[in-house]
Amino acid sequence: MRKLMKTMNLGTVTGLTLPDAYHEALKKVWYEGEDVYIENYKAWTREMSLMVEVVNPSAEPQISLLLQSGPIDLRQYEREMIEGIRDFIIGKGPTLWKYTYHDRFKDQLPFVLDLLRRDPSSRQAVIITRHFDIDSEIDDPACLNYIQYFIRNGKLYCELLFRSNDLYGAFFSNAYALIKLQEKVAAELGVEVGPYRHLSTSMHVYDQKDNFEIEVDKIILDMPENTNQIKTEEIKLYLRQLFDCEVRNE
């Protein structure tokens, strides 16, 4: 039975690690969100506005067993975000990619680093990833719109805004890669990594995801807590074995 929207619910979840916060977010949206029919996708979603806070983003384990992509895809996405390994495809190919997040923020990042070096108390270390002229003309505009960094108590805080986020299909990879970017910025500034705060004004799951509720129930609710997660080092070991080469430790 559908929970048709009466109001757009607002929620907050907090976890010590990214998997902890992700699992809490899945439960929050599925059990407290409301159903909305999205016309341009011809699909039902369960949705709410949600703030997800990861208290210690660098703490292990960092990988959830509910990750939809495999370790290779996750590593590739991290490199797309931080190194721009897919910037070259913008405007090319049958899908004519209009942007990558790296391409959107790469010219703004030096400003942020310089500003925070000069004034660690600044409230102006902002990156805007929405490009109106492009995003207003395409069917799938950038979901990530805004990143802001703060240095407080010797730690780098990251706060960001997604206009829309597929919680089951995309959130974990998005957050994982953005945390790696946060770690990179913190290292360049010589400060510790602080909390990561991820606000999506439409955090949602699609009803057509096969057996979504069963997975949430069985994997998150029924399994012992320590079996829900994988350490990053285990992923790197797997990649080394797969490619017989070193995976760089960022």
Q: Are residues 205 and 165 in contact, defined by beta-carbon separation less than 8 angstroms?
A: no
Quickly tell me which residue has 């991820």 as its tokens.
198
Q: Tell me how many helices (H) and strands (E) the chain has.
A: 8, 10
| CA-atom Rg of the chain in angstroms | 18
Tens digits of pLDDT across the chain (250 residues): 566 656 788 999 999 999 999 989 988 998 899 988 889 888 888 899 999 999 999 998 898 877 877 888 999 999 999 999 999 988 876 666 789 999 999 999 999 999 999 999 999 999 999 999 989 988 889 999 999 999 999 999 999 999 999 998 899 999 999 999 999 999 999 999 999 999 999 999 887 554 555 555 554 454 444 444 555 555 445 444 444 433 344 4
Q: Are residues 230 and 61 in contact, defined by beta-carbon separation less than 8 angstroms?
A: yes
**Per-residue confidence (pLDDT) for residue 68, from 0 to 100:** 78
pTM value is: 0.84
Q: How far apart are CA 68 and CA 175, in angstroms?
A: 13
Q: How far apart are CA 246 and CA 173, in angstroms?
A: 22
Q: Choose which CATH entry (3.30.2130.30, 3.40.50.2300, 3.40.50.300, 3.30.572.10) describes domain 10-243.
A: 3.30.572.10
**Per-residue confidence (pLDDT) for residue 217, from 0 to 100:** 55
What is the domain partition of the chain in residue ranges?
10-243
Q: Are residues 142 and 104 in contact, defined by beta-carbon separation less than 8 angstroms?
A: yes
Helix locations, 33-145, DSSP H: 71-83, 101-105, 109-118, 132-135
Of all helices (H) and strands (E), which one includes residue 230?
strand 229-230
**Per-residue confidence (pLDDT) for residue 95, from 0 to 100:** 61
Of all helices (H) and strands (E), which one includes residue 38?
strand 34-38
Helix axes 172-189, 71-83, angle to 10 degrees: 50
Joined together, the tokens standing for residue 24 give 């809490």
Q: How far apart are CA 23 and CA 4, in angstroms?
A: 24
User: Which residues, 6 or more positions from 123, have their beta carbon under 8 angstroms from its beta carbon?
Assistant: 150
Q: How far apart are CA 171 and CA 23, in angstroms?
A: 11
**Per-residue confidence (pLDDT) for residue 83, from 0 to 100:** 96
**Per-residue confidence (pLDDT) for residue 149, from 0 to 100:** 98
